[in-house]
A = this chain, B = another copy of it.
Amino acid sequence: MTDRLMDAGSQAPADLPPGSDEQDVRRRLLDAASEEFAARGFEAATVRDIVARARTNLNSINYHFGGKQALYAEVLRHQVALSEARHPQRSDERAEGAPEAALRAAVRRLVRFLLDPDSLLPRLYALELLNPSPAFASMGPGASQQSALASAVQGLLGPHADPRLAARCVRSIYSQCAYFMFVRKALPMVDPQFRHDAQAPDELTDHITEFALGGIERLRRDR
C-alpha cells in the first residue's frame, strides 16, 4: 500500500549520494520507455519490451510509475524538459534588431529542434499530433515554438496587419519546418534526394527563411 508517490518527500532530499541509487531504475525505465514509445507509439510499445531494454523486471513499471499510461505521461514531460535544455531560447530571437534576423533565428531554432537526431521529442510530438492522447495537453502544444515565429512575422508585416493574415503566415512557416517531423521516417521514399548532412539544418533554415520573406512581402503588399 505504500505508494511510490508518497515517499518522494521522505527520500527525495537524500537519494543522490549512493550514485543515484533510487533514481537508477527509474531513469533507465524512462529512457527505455522513451525509445520504445517513440519507435512504436504508445499502444504498440509493450511493457515487456520496455523493461527488457531497461534491464529490470516486469513489475517495475507498475511499481515506479503506476502503470503504462502514467509512465507515458512521465516520458512526455521528461523529453520536453530534455529538449528544452538542449535547445534553449536564445536571447537574440526576441531582440529588437531587424525582423529578418528574428525570423531567421526563430526558423533556425525550430529546424534544429525538429531535425535533432538525438531528440526523441519530435517523433513523440508527431505521434501525438496525428493521434492525440489525454497526455497531449501536458506538452503545451508547441505554443512556445510558434510564439517566436509570431513576433517575427508581426515585425515583418507591420503593426497594423490583419491578425488572421499573420496567423496564416506563421502557419505557412511552421508547417514547412514541421513537415520533416512527420515524414522523417519515410523521407527516403518520398524525397530520395534529400541529404541529411550536418549542414542540412542550415541550408533548410536559409531556404525556408528566404521563401517566407518573399511570401510575407508579397502578402504585405497585397493588403
Contact = CB atoms under 8 A, between A and B. Distances in A.
Contacts of A174: 179
Contacts of A72: none
A193 B150 CA distance: 15
A131 interface: yes
A83 to B, nearest CB: 17
A168 B132 CA distance: 30
Given A211-B219, A214-B214, A175 B186 contact: no
Interface stretch (A5-13, A18-26, A122-130): A122-130
Interface of A: 41, 43-44, 126-132, 136-137, 141-142, 164, 167-169, 171-172, 174-176, 178-179, 182-183, 185-186, 189-191, 193, 207-208, 210-219, 222
